[in-house]
């Protein structure tokens, strides 16, 4: 089954948005979703329940990415 991998990257506010990637993120949340729309929804609840929510907008920001996955998870 093809699908997508949704990534939510948490980066320090000192990291430029264009440089925020998995290597520079302080936290990375990943989940498989069925469509590209799934990459843009649902993660808000995960973040709201986590401890990192306190610093968002002040010391950190979120960046989302969506990657197509092939059958077999690659």
30 within domain boundaries: yes
Note the maximum CA span of the chain.
Answer: 40
Q: Is residue 29 situated within a structural domain?
A: yes
Element (H, E) at 45: helix 43-49
Whether residue 42 is contained in a domain is answered as yes
Tens of pLDDT, residues 6-64: 999 999 999 999 999 999 999 998 989 899 998 888 777 778 787 777 778 889 999 99
39 located within any domain: yes
Is the model more confident about 38 or about 72? 38
Predicted pLDDT at 73: 52
* Domain that residue 64 falls in: 3-69
| pTM over cut 0.85 | no
Report yes or no on 74 lying in a domain.
Answer: no
Number of domains in the chain: 1
Check whether 71 has a pLDDT greater than 60.
yes
Which pLDDT does position 68 carry in this prediction? 93
Dihedral angle sign, alpha carbons of residues 43, 48, 53, 56 = positive
């Amino acid at each position: 089954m093809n699908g997508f991998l949704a990534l939510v990257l948490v980066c320090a506010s000192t990291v430029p948005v264009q440089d925020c990637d998995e290597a520079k993120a302080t936290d990375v949340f990943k989940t498989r979703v069925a469509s590209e729309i799934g990459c843009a929804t649902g993660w808000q609840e995960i973040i709201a329940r986590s401890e990192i929510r306190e610093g968002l907008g002040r010391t950190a920001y979120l960046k989302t990415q969506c990657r197509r996955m092939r059958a077999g998870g690659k």
